[in-house]
Structure 1
Amino acid sequence: MQPIQTAMTWQGVEISISYKPRWIKSSSISHLEIHSLEPERAPLPVTETGYKSHFFHSDEIFSEMALKQMVEQWLDEAAQSPKWQAYASSQKNQQLMLF
């Protein structure tokens, strides 16, 4: 199992993704990091700061495509929360005020 470093765009935000399988060599604990790159430190549904470190059990070997799909699904699900919906709505209202 090799580490994966990749990037993706989610709702206009460029995100860096780093996946390290078997972060602790004697266990199945893997480590995932996501960073908002552009806009820098842009909030995401799973982090207000644009950075998220997440440990989880995984025996799967992720391909780059599977990793991106997993992160996208995580973000999409988290984006359904009332807190994120309120944030997204406030951002739309701010943009409309600029015109």
Structure 2
Amino acid sequence: MSARHILLWQDIRIMIVHKPEYFTGTDHLEITSEGSVPLPITETGYRSHFMPSGTLENQRDALAFVSEWLDEASQSKQWQKHLADTRQMSLF
């Protein structure tokens, strides 16, 4: 049975759909930002992610997993450049 979650990350509303056992031994996450806003894990605002079944059991849920993933990915030079570029107006 799939579970739907809403995450507000750095003022970006994100829909997360977790489908356990999407197929045998594999869970699926669908991550979609409202308005297709780019995220550190996807330039298009959409990410499909497969992982071994049970990855999200015990210690964390889909919200915590995606939030930690975004926090870690947001430290990349590429994402920092994206933020700087979107804050600064361009003449080109």
Query: Does 2:19 align with 1:20?
Result: yes
Task: Find the partner of 2:62 among 64, 67, 79.
Answer: 67
Alignment partner for residue 83 of structure 2, among 85, 88, 91?
Answer: 88
- Give me the TM-score of the superposition, normalised by structure 1: 0.80
In the TM superposition, structure 1's runs of 4+ consecutive aligned residues that sit over 6 Å from their partners are: none
Matched, 1:47 2:4: no
For structure 2, the residue ranges without an aligned partner over 5 or more in a row are none
TM-score after normalising by structure 2: 0.86
One-letter amino acid matched to 2:67 = E
1:22 counterpart SS class:
strand
Question: 1: CA distance between counterparts of 2:61 and 2:39?
Answer: 20
> Higher strand fraction: Structure 1 or Structure 2?
2
CA displacement 1:20-73 (0-9 Å, x = unmatched): 00110xx32100001011xx000000000000000011325659x721111000
Aligned residues: 89
The Cα RMSD (Å) is: 1.9
Q: Supply the AA of the counterpart residue of 2:28.
A: H
* Partner secondary structure for residue 36 of structure 2: coil
Q: d(CA) in 2 for partners of 1:91 and 1:33? A: 25
Q: Is 2:19 the partner of 1:31?
A: no
Counterpart amino acid of residue 81 in structure 1: S
